[in-house]
Structure 1
Amino acid sequence: MPRPRERILSTSLLLFHRQGYNRTGINQIIEDANVSKASFYQHFRSKDDLCIEFLNRRYEYWVSELEKFISGAQNLEEKILKSFDFLIYMNEKEDFRGCSFLNILSEIPAEQVEIHHVLRYHKNKLRDFFMNEIKDEVLSDHIYLLFESSILTSQLYRSNELIEKSKSIIKSILTSSH
């Protein structure tokens, strides 16, 4: 059986992603992880501390899955398009639950500064991914914005239709930028 800290984290990974941050209480995490309240607080000072660890773990998981998914791409266009195919893959795998980061962002007030800092940090890393691949700030930001909006709209409509439209836009943009 995994150690209490790992059980708490794996439980929160599941519950925060599936139910959301505010709808998941510490007591549910403690019960589902089969740990004592004392054990929970031995590993995490607060629910916010657990949330930060959740965001870091979720990002590591998501990026490793993305990297595996796009690893066979032969060129820049294929890599970018495959990153959008990855969104389709994740929607099918996770039933259009959307981005854990944006979901949590919508649930917490601005006063929870540490969580907001972690959210921005990881979103900036995603933005940097596109910049490192594309090497053109305006173009990479355009594609990053399409990527983020594709996540949101696919969750909203429970459809991959606008991801496919974003891919068409990207093909057009990349063709005209050459």
Structure 2
Amino acid sequence: MKQRGQVVFDKILDTADKLFYKQGYSNTGINQIIEEADIAKASLYKHFETKTDLLIAYVQRTHELWFTRLEASVNKVTDPKEKILAIFDHHTQRQEIRQFGGCPFIKVNDEAGTDDPRFLKEIQATKIHSKEFIKMLVGNSGHKKVLSDEELAETIYVMLEGFYRYRFCF
């Protein structure tokens, strides 16, 4: 059973997730989050001193959930080369679920406009984690080595980012 503080914390992040993704970080106000989460203002500030603190927690949780789902999808596949393709299938499925609204990380990074080093560090961590995961799959794939593992992983990563930007922009 969750403690009251954790329930409120989760309510805030659930609400922020929905609003940041749907209408954007800059277009989402603290008062809207408080109202839609049905919490007291003091409860929000108990957990998050600033809106940037909430943004960082949102990125951290979204990252954690994203990779849990991605790894589960990829681990359903046994063939090492097919695991790479499973990444694309997973991304497509997530976009269908999110009604082709774009990558939450790209969206918030492009739109938040913050130069807070803590936020930038979290966004960078998501990118590094993605690249390292892809690089591990590439290394295990037994590809023909026309490109190095690093080059092929980077190519796949850029393709995935382009997939989101293209879907998001049109």
CA distance in 2, matches of 1:35, 1:51: 18
The equivalent of 1:176 in structure 2 is: none
Q: For the Cα contact (< 8 Å) 2:135–2:153, is it kept in 1?
A: yes
Residue 145 of structure 1 pairs with residue 163 of structure 2:
no
Give secondary structure in 1 for the equivalent of 2:36: helix
- TM-score (norm: length of structure 1): 0.83
Q: Which residue of 1 aligns with 2:55?
A: 51
Q: Structure 2: give runs of 5+ residues left out of the alignment.
A: 140-148
* CA-CA distance at 1:110 after TM superposition: 5.0
**Corresponding residue for 1:28?**
32
Partner of 2:145: none
Instruction: Give 1:103's aligned residue.
Output: 107
Query: Secondary structure in 2 aligned to 1:3?
Result: helix
Q: CA deviation at 1:88?
A: 1.3
| 2:81 corresponding residue in structure 1 | 77
**Is 2:159 aligned against 1:155?**
no
Amino acid at match of 1:56: Q
* Equivalent position SS for 1:96: coil
Q: TM-score, normalised by structure 2?
A: 0.86
Task: Check conservation: 2:101, 2:167, Cα contact below 8 A.
Answer: no
Runs of 4+ in structure 1 over 4 Å off? none
Q: Give the % identical residues.
A: 33
| 1:12 alignment counterpart | 16
Number of residue equivalences: 157
- Corresponding residue for residue 93 of structure 2: 89
- Determine which structure has greater relative contact order: mean sequence separation of CA pairs < 8 Å that are 6+ residues apart, divided by chain length: 2
Q: What stretches of structure 1 of length at least 5 have no aligned partner?
A: 158-178
The CA deviation string for residues 48-106 of structure 1, in whole angstroms up to 9 with x for no partner, is 00010000111111111112222221222211111101111111110111111111111
Counterpart-to-counterpart distance in 1, 2:17 and 2:103: 13
